[in-house]
Amino acid sequence: MTVDYDALMQTLRRLALEAGDRIMEIYDSDDFEVRSKSDSSPVTEADEAADALISAGLRRAFPEIALVTEEQSETHDLDVRDFLIVDPLDGTKEFINRRGDFTVNIALVEDGVPTFGVVYAPAKQRLFYTNGAGGSVEEAGPFAKDTIGVAKPIRVSTPDTSALMVVASKSHRDQATDDYIKKYTVKDSKSAGSSLKFCLVATGEADFYPRLGRTMEWDTAAGHAVLAGAGGRVLRLDDLTPLVYGKPTFANPFFVATAPGVDLIPV
């Protein structure tokens, strides 16, 4: 697959910002519709509006690349290793409860590996992405659609294994996660929603993020790409091998997103 990565990332960044504007219009309204999908997870009009906007933009710009999105997942029957993957509103529960920890996630997967991605948290005005060379940055706002502002390179921490910083899910934290975290010597633990957890590891604000629960590839691909571009990695928790994409059902095993240097414990 031949891709102009600079053009790709400019498009992904712009579409994430445009989707973020549409999401915030709905978020700031007096009320919005919430329904249940076939798997009982919630979906809002913001999910669907952002999905339509991003999907149309990606199909127009990159018609030759397969596209996977959360809101159209029931129609996907793909056996591909190279594809674009989208979660138009990651952290729907955070959105519904107006907690702000939700993101727009768009990524490119090549040969099963997320190589480029953007994570935009519109309510928090934080924007993370990989640049055309594959390094990761956080751009300072305010954000213009067609002009990139000040983008600061980000890098994972050098962990102190006797005083680790851990981040875990805000809406899905459970006893299994807490029991796993207790296996480490932790200085501080924080909670965050959506793929922001990957980005907190990527910026060095946390050393690792374990996930002992259900996730799908669209939940993780963009954050995975940002973390990889900052020097981090995402590993399966059963055998500590790299998490790969393009799995038949797009479902992930338990995993850990981490800076190098954490002595990981498999489960």
Residue 28 annotated as binding site: no
DSSP, residue by residue, 30-81: S---EEE-TTS-EEEHHHHHHHHHHHHHHHHH-TTSEEEEGGGGGG-----S
Residue 70 annotated as binding site: yes
- CA dist., res. 153 & res. 169, Å (int): 25
- What is the helix (H) or strand (E) element at residue 258, kind and residue range? strand 255-258
| DSSP strands (E only) in 70-223 | 83-90, 103-110, 113-121, 126-130, 136-139, 151-153, 164-169, 186-192, 208-211
Residue 158 annotated as binding site: no
| Both structure tokens of 254 | 């338990």
Residue 91 annotated as binding site: yes
With 0-12 / 13-18 / 19 or more C-beta atoms within 10 angstroms meaning exposed / middle / buried, residue 5 is middle
Q: CA angle, 187 as apex, 182 and 188 as ends, to 5°?
A: 85
Q: What type of residue sits at position 105?
A: N
- CA dist., res. 85 & res. 77, Å (int): 14
Residue 87 annotated as binding site: yes
- CA dist., res. 107 & res. 9, Å (int): 9
Binding residues are 70, 87, 89-92, 219
Binding residues for substrate are 70, 89-92, 219
Binding residues for Mg(2+) are 70, 87, 89-90, 219
